[in-house]
Chains A and B, each alone.
Chain A
């Protein structure tokens, strides 16, 4: 079965510090994208960052960066200079493109709290 594992249900970080959220996945596909989504209390799903599996260079978006280890099927998210607005649930997901469907497969999510 194709799965995404986020083993840490909760994490906490001090404001202005750095935190890393872990994610591992398992897919037999060779062509896929990886994503991190943020879900604040408003419940809106917000795309944080994405990584194409064929690209070796790790994606970065301002304070957000990933550590993509394809062989290990690991895709962690690093948040630098954490801000109070970063407090949310974060979901790791991947999307494949074979067949008719191109669904997102999500992990269970991790709740991140930011201490002032």
Chain B
């Protein structure tokens, strides 16, 4: 089944404790992206990747890191989480950045930073 998976689905952590949210897709997609969803703000892009070893900042990259060592994986890293990073996180992928390419979303990761 073609899908985007994220792990963990739920995470409660404490301020300053490094964490990684994994994202993996099995569709051989080139373009991958991370969004965060906050009430009243919709979804905002954190980082994106056009292909292996090609990543760049989105609209709200502060406090996050990403890597793209393999085409299928695009982990989101929070080196020192803070309470303002409590949010719902989505990974998304599409075949490439071009037109007429649907972005497929993962199931979301609910992160709480105490």
Contact = CB atoms under 8 A, between A and B. Distances in A.
B43 A101 contact: no
Interface stretch (B17-25, B67-75, B76-84, B101-109): B101-109
A4 interface: yes
A100 interface: yes
Interface of B is mostly: strand
Interface of A is mostly: loop
Q: Which of the four size classes fits the interface of chain B?
A: 20 to 34
A116 B91 CA distance: 34
B45 A97 contact: no
A52 B103 CA distance: 15
Interface of A: 4, 31, 33, 42-45, 47, 50, 52, 91, 93, 95, 97, 100-104, 106-109
Interface of B: 31, 33, 35, 40-45, 48, 50, 56, 58-59, 88, 90, 92, 94, 97-103, 105, 107-108, 110
